[in-house]
Amino acid sequence: MSPSLVALAATLLASFMPAAAPSQAQQARVAPVDPPRWQPGPRPTWHWQLSGRLDTTARARIFDIDLFDHGADVVARLRARGRRVVCYTSVGTVERGRPDVAALPRAVVGRPLEDWPGERWLDVRRLDVLGPWIERRFDLCARKGFDGVEPDNVDAYANKSGFPLSAADQLRFNRFVARAAHARGLAVALKNDLDQAATLEPDFDFAVVEQCFQYDECDRLTPFIAAGKPVLVAEYALPRSAFCRRARAAGLMAVRKRLALGAWRQPCW
């Protein structure tokens, strides 16, 4: 058989052979794809309530409510009315009375928060322990049908946590939190941590911040505004006349709340 016929025969034979399975190295290079998730617009109205009987009539696009206090039925009713629903849960502290407290060993539990003695900081370096614990909380959030998550207390390194935490430790932890939320199809908020907001903006979908007008810190969230991501502000001590005009001019969705975060609110919009 001539060389040309040999080559032709080899080509035809190859066309009928099954494709080779990708090697382990090739599979490792294929990055996992996160499920689709809600992307909040730049100026959504919002209702933040973490205590008391939930006011489901509040005129707000986003409802930010406690993960453990509300079931899937509440989330479904809100979503049926066109609301987006965010689950609040702490990831950087452990709160007395939560159903999963016993899952954390004493070694990762640090000092109590100032003014909140029933809540203690966690060692954010210990992702081997905290990672699965956080993921279980986010799994519950997703199962209940929430659209997003507000993971609280992600600034332990800037507080008296009882652990020698660095800014790099906190960045690693916060980026893990964002990835874990996105892997479950949840939008994720950066809560406070203003010193690292510019660095973390690409990892988070929106921001929730307390008292940034009172402490003259709101400008640190400019990267979120510039990226078209909403910034949701709660003030406790200032009257609306002291911050609403500035909030509207800057594109911040600000509201006056009481510290207990019940149903009462005075929004700027």
**Residue 30 confidence (pLDDT):** 60
Residue 37 domain-assigned (yes or no): no
CA gap 120, 109 in Å, rounded: 6
Average pLDDT over residues 108-131: 96
Alpha helices in 44-166 (DSSP H): 72-80, 127-143
Does residue 130 sit within a domain? yes
Q: Which domain holds residue 61?
A: 43-267
The model's confidence at residue 19, banded by pLDDT at 50, 70 and 90, is very low
Query: Minimal CA–CA distance to 195: which of 205, 206, 182, 209?
Result: 209
> Do the domain assignments include residue 140?
yes
pLDDT tens sequence across 164-212: 999 999 999 999 999 999 999 999 999 999 999 999 999 999 999 999 9
Choice among 54-58, 71-75, 90-94, 113-117 with the minimum mean pLDDT: 113-117
pLDDT value for 86: 99
Pairwise pLDDT comparison (10 vs 79), residue with the higher score: 79
CATH number, domain of 154, equals 3.20.20.70
Helix axes 127-143, 167-183, angle to 10 degrees: 30
How many CA atoms are closer than 13 Å to the CA of 100, on its beta-carbon side? Answer: 16
Residues listed for the chain: 269
The position carrying tokens 């993971």 is 151
pLDDT value for 250: 97
Of 233, 69, 68, the closest CA to residue 140 belongs to: 68
Any domain includes 76: yes
Q: Is the residue at 148 inside a domain?
A: yes
Q: Is residue 246 part of a domain?
A: yes
In a domain, 36, yes or no: no
**Percentage of the chain lying above the pLDDT 70 cut:** 88
pLDDT in tens, 27-55: 445 666 888 999 999 999 999 999 999 99
Q: Can you give 30-64 as a three-state secondary structure string?
A: CCCCCCCCCCCCCCCCEEEECCCCCCCCCCCCEEE
Domain assignment present for residue 29? The answer is no
Indicate the pTM of the whole model: 0.88
- Provide the domain count of the chain: 1
Question: What pLDDT digit, counting tens, does each position of 136-151 carry?
Answer: 999 999 999 999 999 9
The pLDDT assigned to 33 comes to 81
